Each structure stands twice: as structure tokens, then as C-alpha cells.
Amino acid sequence: MSRKAHIVGVGESQYTKWGKIGDITEHALALQTIITAITDAGLKVSDIDGLASFAEDRNEGIFIAAELGIPELRYSNMVWMPGGGGGCAAVSNATMAVETGQAEVVVVYRSLCQGQYMRFGHAAELMVNSAANAAEPPPVTFSQANTMMLAAMGQVMPFGMLTGAAAFALPFRRHMHKYGSTSEHLGKIAVAFREHANRNPRAVMQDKTLTLEQHQTSRMIADPFRLFDCCMENDGACAVVITTAERAKDLSRARNRKMVEIVASVQGAPKGYSFGSFTNANIDDDIYATGGNTQMADRLWKKADMKPSDIDVAQIYDHFTGSVLMQLEDFGFCKRGEGGDFIDSGALSANGGSLPTNTSGGSLSEAYMHGLNHVLEGARSLWGESCNPVKDAKACLVTSAAGVPSSALLLRAH
């Protein structure tokens, strides 16, 4: 199929710690990074006719297109909901646009300088400060929700539910109760990804090593998640270029790269999930202590006519270590409840593991770009351009988030 979607270029800015990107705006980084990615593909900015993003990106496609001087914008969209669940879904949207002929070259991008905007999870801090500064604190009363998201959050915020750490600790605590998974399992995930980051010059944590003991003694954030179970908050941007097989053939040859096909992509949420474990206490009991991705994973494998044992390398969304463990079960790399044993086997290491995972360091140790950097690393791992190369890797799974509506991709090199 000559219009089958392929990844032909990737690009990112420097990734830095929160607020440390320096004298450049998130908006400017988005533009710069799109240009970097299109150049990496061997294309020109004037070849772009589609833009896709996710997570309520502040850098809206219509403005980005105008500022880049794109001759004609033929496709632009944004995946629902905040957070990282939509990273692979944005790639999926680009894939659909390319394969149905709505566009030829779609760039998926995400620019995220949280240091320039309200820090995630710190909404309460702002409210608290404004209350403290008021001459007379107002009485505690209701305020009106103007969006469905605010109505959902407004139901749980009075109980202090404001951070991802607390939201995703709840299902993992139940996983521990049901299956006996432990904090040490989580520590081994954090250490494996950090070792990958230590070999990645793009990684924010390249120079910081991490031992299991450091993990086990790090401060508690939301039990059972300690500091090193939580992803970072960063400044940076990244972008991926999607086009047809026909164009990808010449572009790949020119770059001496294998073609990276988007074999299948899926998006989804289980019944009644809404904003997942952030706001929903009534997720079905058989789904609650999972990453919520089981049905979607089954659909992905079926669509691609592939199975977990076909995968050479995986990029699994890691906002929290516990979500990695539960996704390994969701996607069928091990049975439900056996994620801990799978991790104990050393599977995740690029240094001889059976499923080298997050070979860039992921959100825990490379950068928190709402998971779009996982897609870049997926392509690199199949091009043989990863800092933690997996020999002869031909198939890669990329996932976007757990515990909230999510999405995933299967990539294959040929």
C-alpha cells in the first residue's frame, strides 16, 4: 500500500530541568523543533501540509502553520484531554490523514515548557497563595464548573486529589494488595531507565546515576510512589514527521535509514473510564488495578497481526513506575499480577534484557515531553540510532500513558 504511513524524521530541542530552558519561549521552541524534524527527514518546511498535537497544546496548529509559512494547511487536529494519553493518538491522527489522502506530510509536535506556565499539580499552591494574600479570606463555598473536566476534577479536588502521583498511586496500591507487587519492583524500573539515560546525551539525567538503595531511601511523594518513581517536569519540545510509504522510500534511502512503518495504531478507554484514576472511583473492579489498556492492547495486536513476543524493543509511557509495571501486564508481556517477576528477570535492560524498554531513559530520566519523545526513540531504535541500540531490532511498541484514556503504536522496520 503506497500510502501506508511511515516515520521519516524526528527532532527535538535541548531538554532541560523545569524552568531552565533559558531565553526562549515554548512557542518558539515548537517552531524550531518542527524545522529540525522536517530537516532530519530531508524535507522542506514548505512540504508540510498537516499538523497534529495533543494534551491541550498551547501551540495551536493554525498559528504554527501561519508562522512557518506553510503553503496550504490541509489537516490539523488535537487529541482530547490533558496529559500524555494522546501522544500516540496524535501520531495515529497523522497516520489516518496521510493514509486517507487528506495530507501528504504531517508533523506531530509537542512543546512543553512547564516552567513558563503554571506548574502541573501546583494549581492548589496558587489558590492557597491568593487566599493568603486576600485581606479577608472568602468563606469556603462552591464555584461553578465551566467545562466537563473542571466538573470532574472539582468533585475530587476537595479531597486533595490534584497530582498525578496520588491519582496513579491509588490503582497501584490495589495492585500491590491483589498481587503482592512491591516498591522494589518499582525501584528496578527506575534504575533500568536511568542506566539507559546515563548513555543518552539528550537525557536530562545523563550525569546522575541511580541505585536501588537510593530509590528505596528517596522521600515519599504519594505512597507507594517515592521521588524516583515519579517522572520529571521539563522544558523542551519534540516532533515527528509522518508521510506515505511512497515518499518514505526515497527519503529513507537518502538518509541510509530503514523504513519505519506505523503498522497499527489505536486509541481508547474502557467502559465508564472518563478521566481514569484521576477522577473516577468507579472504574470496574477487574480493570481498576491495571493500566486500563488491556482491551486497547488486544485490539492493537489483532490489527497488526502481531504478538508480544514479536517485539524487540518497547517505549512504554512512564509517568510513574507503577504504570509501567501494569502496562507490561496490559500489553501481554506477562500475565496479570506477574509484572513484578517480569521486572525481577532484568527484562527491561538494553544490556541483555528480553524486552529492552525506554532505551532513551523515558519520562523518568530522559525528559517529560508528555510521551512524544517515546515515539522519537521508537523510530531511532529501529533506525539503529538509539544511544542504547538493540541489535537487529525490527519491531517496537510505543505506548502513551496508563490510568487515563490512552493510545499506542506498533512500528516495524523494513
In the residue annotation, 317 being an active-site residue is answered as yes
The least distance separating another protein from the CB of residue 131, rounded to whole angstroms, comes to: 5
Interface with another protein (CB under 8 A), residue from 33, 59, 111, 163: 163
- The full DSSP string for 52-85 is EEETT-SS-HHHHHHHHT-S---EEEEESSSSGG
Site mask for another protein (CB under 8 A), range 278-297, x = bound:
-x-xx-----x---------
Residues 115 to 134 in contact with another protein, rule: CB under 8 A: 121, 123-125, 127-128, 131-132
Residue ranges in 197-236 that form contacts with another protein under rule CB under 8 A: 219-225
Shortest separation between residue 275's beta carbon and another protein, angstroms: 12
Exposure class string for 27-42: b at 16+ Cβ within 10 A, else e: bbbbbbbbbbbbebbb
Cell of 142: 462552591
Task: Kindly identify the residues of this chain, within the stretch 172-191, that bind another protein according to CB under 8 A.
Answer: 173-174, 177
Shortest Cβ distance from residue 403 to another protein (Å)? 12
| Site size for another protein (CB under 8 A) | 50
According to CB under 8 A, which one of 81, 90, 112, 166 is a site residue for another protein? 166
Q: Is residue 6 classed as helix, strand or coil in its secondary structure?
A: strand
> Taking the complex as a whole, how short is the minimal distance between the CB of residue 345 and another protein, in angstroms?
27
Which of 151, 216, 303, 351 is in the footprint of another protein by CB under 8 A?
Answer: 151
Among 162, 240, 311, 328, binds another protein (CB under 8 A): 162
Q: Which of residues 248-277 bind another protein (CB under 8 A)?
A: 272
**Is it true that the peptide bond before 71 is cis, omega within 30 degrees of 0?**
no
From the list 14-22, 154-162, 208-216, 232-240, the region that binds another protein by CB under 8 A is 154-162
Question: Would you say 65 or 153 has its CB closer to another protein?
Answer: 153
Exactly one of 30, 79, 107, 170 binds another protein (CB under 8 A); that residue is: 170
By CB under 8 A, name the one of 34, 70, 169, 245 that touches another protein. 169
| Residue closer to another protein (CB basis): 8 or 170 | 170
Environment class of residue 256 by beta-carbon count within 10 Å: exposed (0-12), middle (13-18) or buried (19+)?
exposed
AA identity, residue 336: R
Write down the catalytic residue from 15, 273, 288, 368.
368
Choose among 347, 406, 357: nearest CA to 381.
357
Task: Tell me phi and psi for residue 134, to 5 degrees.
Answer: -65, 140
- Which H/E stretch holds residue 21? none
Does the active-site annotation cover 15? no
Whichever of 22 and 158 has its CB closer to another protein, that residue is: 158
Catalytic residue (one of 75, 109, 273, 317): 317
Distance of CA 194 to the CA centre of its chain: 17
Which region, judged by CB under 8 A, interacts with another protein, from 153-161, 334-342, 355-363, 380-388?
153-161
Site membership for another protein, residue 78 (CB under 8 A): no
Shortest distance, CB of residue 288 to another protein, whole angstroms?
A: 8
Give the DSSP per-residue string, 342-371: HHHTTTT-TTT-SS-B-TT-HHHHT--STT
Q: Of 289, 348, 320, 242, nearest to 83 (Cα)?
A: 320
Whether the CB-CB separation of 406 and 295 falls below 8 Å is answered with: no
- Which cell numbers hold the place of 222? 504519594
| Minimum distance from residue 139 beta carbon to another protein (Å) | 5
The residue from 150, 250, 253, 302 that contacts another protein (CB under 8 A) is 150
Instruction: Say which residue the cell 528480553 belongs to.
Output: 354
Cα 365 from Cα 88, distance rounded (Å): 20
Given a contact cutoff of 8 angstroms between Cβ atoms, the answer to whether 30 and 66 are in contact is no
Q: What is the spatial distance between Cα 3 and Cα 355, in angstroms, rounded to a whole number?
A: 31
Residue 100 or 129: the one with the smaller Cβ distance to another protein is 129
φ, ψ (nearest 5 deg) of residue 109: -140, 160
Residues counted in the chain: 414
Residues identified as active-site: 317, 368
Q: Which residues bind another protein (CB under 8 A)?
A: 121, 123-125, 127-128, 131-132, 137, 139-145, 150-163, 165-166, 169-171, 173-174, 177, 219-225, 272, 279, 281-282, 288
